[in-house]
Structure 1
Amino acid sequence: MATKFDIDLLDRHLRQVQAEFDCQRHLSLLHCILRDEFGLTDEQIVEALTDGGNDRGIDAIHINRSTDPVIVNIFQTKQYQSKIAEKNFPSNEIDKILSYIHDFLNQSDAFLDSLNPALRDISVELAELFNHGRPLIRIFFCSNGTPLLPEQRLRLESSLKGYSYISTEEFHFDNLLDLVLAPQNANRERFLKASSNQIFSRSDGDVKGIIASVSASEIVKLIANAKDPSRADRALFNENIRVFLGIKNPVNKNILQSALSEDRFVFWYLNNGITIVCEEATYPQGYAHPAIRMIAPQIVNGAQTSHALLEAHQRDPSLINDVSVLVRIYETKRSDISQLVAIATNSQTRIYNRDLMSNDKAQIRIQKALELRGLYYERKRREYEDQPRERRIDALKFGQIVLAYTLRMPERARRDSDEIFSAYYDDIFTNIRDLDEIVSAWQCLREIEANHELVIAKRRRHTTNRAMRALAYANYHVLFLVSVLAQHRGINISDPGTRKTLIEVGINIVKEHIESDERGLYEIFRDPKTKERLIQLAERQDQLPEDFQLSLPLKIDSGLF
């Protein structure tokens, strides 16, 4: 049961989120969940929002295209304005979601006309997804109160029983409190009991390794949330918890089936195991089942296995007692060793997460150079959240700016943002030719997005036209046009008045193009040919030469900064 202290703590946190995002009070809970649980950027949150008139009970939809299959997360939230946490999620909200799902799947007459502009745009994207395959749909019921009543939960599950690709999850007061407390939870002492004497250790200077076989039930004990054992403790996974693909993902389904099968004894041989990095790892010698003590453990590889075993335990806890898992534990206080372990054990993905690259030399150099300019470069997400937002440059945003402005690839800035810290890393962060120009481009993007945010507020109304709504998707294309026009005119964009003029020209070019392109907005601004059409329009407005260089070469040989 929630205490008065906990209720007040969460209330104050949501007020802080409200101030940081400058959003309405009833949306602070949604912003908190999208940012802290799902790791969305400010821009992704704005694009996901559908709240407003004619939202059919849906407050946000986020499409995760980095997974296979694509995952669609639908959010319905209820934020109680009082501090009272003992209120169940309202059952009448279920019917709104079910009605939307039914109408969407059946494409009822006038379905799109019943939606507000934001929800209509995303629904068109969803329809395009279904034309190319069936995505997984996860519906989240979120509130700062308590879950649905059992009979209402049963009604919900019964209504969706025929849709194997649709799952539901509830996210309420205790889960929100975990988000607030997660940083404090990261340094807790944890234990893993080894199976019999199946344990080996070695030490090399300031690095120590322990390899052991442990029961799957021990993994479940390790990762289970203390307040809600059916959920994983996100503090153990840091960023990795957000890449869990769900139990319906084919790989995770196979892990689950293997753990519950008659041949579950071979699980140890078939699974890659779990890798843990911690600051300290010890175990007593001479015991049959030694308990390994870990300080500040982080599971850097094995998130899918861990979650699948948690699900297997919920289905039949007696069976997983027969399942053994290989665990590698590395003790080190050196951040570089911890980073290398995380990269090496996740090498099969061939994707370098921004957190894994946060201590790279190029990131540190950029941070130092921007610090000398009075700016805070966030190598890690929300690293300087106590500093003014207008002085903070996020590493991901930095990469998107370079892609759109310097490398002239605005569609990749939006479409391929997951590749910024992998495929495009060197081209963006290592080969910087003019840091001051990038800072000016960042200032320019802030000014574009100030206009963008105004449009987002307006697009809740049916009177907002399509050309105006397009700005919600076009920020990097406007920045691209600013780069094109500035180069042609031979001017520097460090001057605010110059930026304002070029932004207005860029916005007008985008609007003109939208009027003649009937495709979905999402598709338009992820199509590489769109920038070619924008260039053609710019030529008429700005007399650009026919041989104008559309895209700079990826490799830039100039010096750093």
Structure 2
Amino acid sequence: LNIAGTQVVVAAIPLRECINIPGIKDGTLFQKNVRQSLGLNNAVNKGIKNTIYSDKHRDFFFFHNGITAICNKLELQDQKLKLNGLSVVNGCQSLNTIISCSERIKTLDDTFVLFRFYEIPQRERADRISINTNSQSAVKPRDLRSNDKRVLNLKKLFEQKYPSGYFITKRGEQAPADKDKNYVLDLSDLGKYLIAWHSKRPNVSYSEAKIFDKYFEQLFKREYKPENAQALNFWMKELLKSWTDENPLGMNETLLAMKAYAPYHHLYAISMCFAISNNESDRVPNPGRCLEKAQQNGMVDEIINISGRSVNMALEAAANEVQPQGKIFSPHNWIKAKTCLAGINFAIHNYFSMLPMLPGGQELSKRLKEILALGNEDFEYRWEAD
């Protein structure tokens, strides 16, 4: 077929032929898909598997939405289809599930799946097709951003800067086993770090949907240095060592129980330690420079301790405030509200003010001031995300 100037082939392909398609197991067939395999626990994938193993397997063709694949060039001669630059843009979940059922499928002669092949050499058009055809498994905003040119550029820069590292862009994607886990960074996590640090909104970090929908253009509109991305990655990995059952910082158990939300406030507090110490509370410090200064002086753990305890003090202070009549303090509501940030900032201010008065505090206060000192060029205004 020729539709809108595009060569199209629609075919019923036996499932047993699908398991021979190269690039499924290593994921190379799905480079233009918005996500990788989500595993057999996904509800849709369970349904596909159940159909294959049931006595209704012959109806697979009718039950399934089909698979969409694009290529740079296709030729159909004598009932043989030759494809160049093949990529599946909708059907990653299905093909991976089919592969997982290969022993069963080898016994099926009369089970087919619908394939649509499009000759689409244009990159932008291919991306639009990938986004618009992905509806069989629920597609999240993060999935739709995985092939964004800014995201792919950041992945390229990050992996060039850190050859032993890996930047994960797609849900379900795994870093190769030979990569250094300390330099593995997930796009979803980076979005949460950016909004906590650069937008000063850790209370929004819990919402992946908002980050990759409402705030994506604000967070990813500029070229971001891989050194800063890795600095945020490092800070987060290090501070999470405090969010364990051992509770080394002696945090309130209620705070510790909010591990899905509160560590982003801890990351925010690290940035505010530098900002407040430099009298730059309204601006945002460069995360790479912050890490550089902390590492050079062996103060990473100390800064993590100060910032973590400040978040804890802010929560306990809020819990002890008199509540409006009939209301009960809710830690979960507090951690998700923008008003909690003022409490964290006050706790940091209070720590720095009180430190010189404590035994041995003058020396530590002086050292901290020197270590936390940054130049004016190391600060910028926060990225709007309101």
TM-score bracket, shorter-length normalisation: 0.5 to 0.7
Structure 2 CA distance for partners of 1:525 and 1:406, relative to 1, 3 Å = farther
Deviations 1:395-428 (A, max 9, x none): 6565334411343331433x33465434532343
Corresponding residue number in structure 2 for 1:282: 75
1:405 equivalent in alignment to 2:197: yes
1:293-304 to 2 correspondences below 5 Å: 293-304=82-93
2-side partners of 1:497 and 1:275: how far apart? Answer: 45
Query: Given residue 207 of structure 2, which amino acid in structure 1 is its aligned partner?
Result: D
Deviation at 1:330, TM superposition (A): 2.0
1:210 equivalent in alignment to 2:9: yes
Deviation at 1:503, TM superposition (A): 5.5
Query: Given residue 202 of structure 1, which amino acid in structure 2 is its aligned partner?
Result: N
Deviation at 1:292, TM superposition (A): 1.9
Corresponding residue number in structure 2 for 1:338: 126
Query: Given residue 90 of structure 2, which amino acid in structure 1 is its aligned partner?
Result: N
Structure 2 CA distance for partners of 1:418 and 1:219, relative to 1, 3 Å = farther
Corresponding residue number in structure 2 for 1:317: 106
1:88-107 to 2 correspondences below 5 Å: none
Contact 1:279 1:296 in 2 (8 A): yes
Report the more deviating stretch, 382-391 or 351-360: 382-391
1:446 equivalent in alignment to 2:231: yes
Deviations 1:190-246 (A, max 9, x none): xxxxxxxxxxx32665x5322111111111222587xxxxxx343223486975343
1:234 equivalent in alignment to 2:27: yes
TM-score by length of 2: 0.59
Query: Given residue 333 of structure 1, which amino acid in structure 2 is its aligned partner?
Result: P
Structure showing greater relative contact order (alpha-carbon pairs closer than 8 Å, 6 or more residues apart):
2
Corresponding residue number in structure 1 for 2:43: 250
1:24-63 to 2 correspondences below 5 Å: none
Q: How many residues align?
A: 312
Contact 2:198 2:284 in 1 (8 A): no
2-side partners of 1:507 and 1:278: how far apart? Answer: 51
1-side partners of 2:272 and 2:115: how far apart? Answer: 51
Structure 2 CA distance for partners of 1:221 and 1:527, relative to 1, 3 Å = farther
Secondary structure of 2:114's aligned partner: strand
Secondary structure of 1:328's aligned partner: strand
Identity %: 19
Deviations 1:310-361 (A, max 9, x none): 3444235333x2112110112233211221121111146353456755444x
Contact 1:402 1:428 in 2 (8 A): yes
Contact 1:411 1:527 in 2 (8 A): no
2-side partners of 1:448 and 1:310: how far apart? Answer: 34
Structure 2 CA distance for partners of 1:427 and 1:235, relative to 1, 3 Å = same
Long gaps (5+) in structure 1? 1-200, 226-231, 368-376, 519-523, 544-550, 556-561
Corresponding residue number in structure 2 for 1:117: none
1-side partners of 2:53 and 2:316: how far apart? Answer: 56
Query: Given residue 405 of structure 1, which amino acid in structure 2 is its aligned partner?
Result: W
2-side partners of 1:552 and 1:359: how far apart? Answer: 20
1-side partners of 2:247 and 2:3: how far apart? Answer: 68
Corresponding residue number in structure 2 for 1:221: 20
Structure 2 CA distance for partners of 1:444 and 1:310, relative to 1, 3 Å = closer
Deviation at 1:272, TM superposition (A): 0.7
Structure 2 CA distance for partners of 1:233 and 1:278, relative to 1, 3 Å = same
Deviation at 1:526, TM superposition (A): 10
1:429 equivalent in alignment to 2:220: yes
Deviations 1:504-523 (A, max 9, x none): 653441253578999xxxxx
1-side partners of 2:291 and 2:97: how far apart? Answer: 55
Contact 2:183 2:230 in 1 (8 A): no
Tell me the C-alpha RMSD between the 2 structures.
Answer: 5.1
Structure 2 CA distance for partners of 1:460 and 1:260, relative to 1, 3 Å = closer
Contact 1:493 1:499 in 2 (8 A): no
Deviations 1:479-513 (A, max 9, x none): 43335955874566357599869956534412535
Secondary structure of 1:283's aligned partner: strand
Corresponding residue number in structure 1 for 2:114: 326
Secondary structure of 2:343's aligned partner: helix
Structure 2 CA distance for partners of 1:503 and 1:267, relative to 1, 3 Å = same
Contact 2:32 2:89 in 1 (8 A): no
Structure 2 CA distance for partners of 1:211 and 1:381, relative to 1, 3 Å = farther
1:6-17 to 2 correspondences below 5 Å: none
Structure 2 CA distance for partners of 1:507 and 1:260, relative to 1, 3 Å = closer
1:378 equivalent in alignment to 2:155: yes
Secondary structure of 1:449's aligned partner: helix
Deviations 1:514-550 (A, max 9, x none): 78999xxxxx89974376445325335538xxxxxxx
1:341-356 to 2 correspondences below 5 Å: 341-347=129-135, 349-353=138-142
Contact 1:275 1:329 in 2 (8 A): yes
Contact 2:249 2:308 in 1 (8 A): no
Q: Among residues 285, 292, 311, which one is paired with 1:510 in the alignment?
A: 311
Query: Given residue 318 of structure 1, which amino acid in structure 2 is its aligned partner?
Result: T
Secondary structure of 2:310's aligned partner: helix
1-side partners of 2:219 and 2:164: how far apart? Answer: 25
Structure 2 CA distance for partners of 1:448 and 1:538, relative to 1, 3 Å = farther
